[in-house]
């Protein structure tokens, strides 16, 4: 899925938990973007400075492409996420750091929405299995449905919040 949709869905999922803690909701969204930022930032920066489009770079034998391909396995693995989450859990005195679960949400969304392009190796390093039966996030029908649902959620959210503010001021 694209980073804008990842950010929007993560915000929706973590809204109720962090309704009044905007920093934690922001951190959840950041963790939801982390897998793609960590893997693809170098390739986008390289493309920007060389005036080369992302899709023209993919498949070339360049260090930025190789970095993206290799780091993608780590940033999009539920196994790696679980190990890091457990490490943080124990370092924090057996307390979960919930904003970090934005990363897990990102992986779960990507499993079914990356068909034929950067399929998600969610069981790495235990297995190289990738779920190849989903639908591409870039497919026009999926994008229409995805952004349509996001619009419905945010419009309803707007009216619920507005209605609550109107009721509390009366």
Q: What is the pLDDT along the chain (170 residues), one digit of tens a residue?
A: 899 999 999 999 999 899 899 999 999 999 999 999 999 999 999 999 999 999 899 989 999 999 999 999 999 999 999 999 999 999 999 999 999 999 999 999 999 999 988 999 999 999 999 998 889 999 999 999 999 999 999 999 888 877 777 777 66
- Kind plus residue range of the DSSP H or E element containing 89: helix 78-91
pTM (two decimals): 0.91
116: left (phi over 0), alpha (psi -120 to 50) or beta: left
How many beta carbons lie within 10 A of that of residue 167, not counting itself?
A: 8
């Amino acid at each position: 899925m694209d980073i804008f949709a990842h950010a929007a869905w993560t915000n929706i999922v973590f809204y109720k938990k962090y309704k009044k803690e905007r920093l934690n909701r922001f951190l959840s969204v950041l963790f939801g973007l982390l897998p793609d930022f960590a893997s693809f930032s170098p390739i986008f920066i390289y493309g920007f400075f060389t005036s080369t489009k992302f899709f023209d770079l993919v498949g070339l034998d360049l260090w930025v492409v190789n970095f993206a391909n290799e780091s993608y396995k780590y940033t999009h693995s539920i196994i790696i996420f679980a190990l890091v989450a457990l490490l943080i859990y124990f370092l924090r005195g057996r307390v979960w750091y919930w904003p970090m679960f934005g990363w897990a949400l990102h992986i779960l969304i990507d499993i079914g929405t990356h068909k034929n392009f950067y399929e998600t190796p969610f069981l790495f390093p235990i297995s190289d299995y990738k779920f190849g039966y989903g639908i591409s996030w870039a497919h026009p029908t999926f994008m229409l449905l995805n952004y349509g649902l996001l619009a419905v959620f945010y419009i309803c959210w707007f009216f619920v919040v507005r209605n609550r503010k109107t009721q509390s001021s009366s």
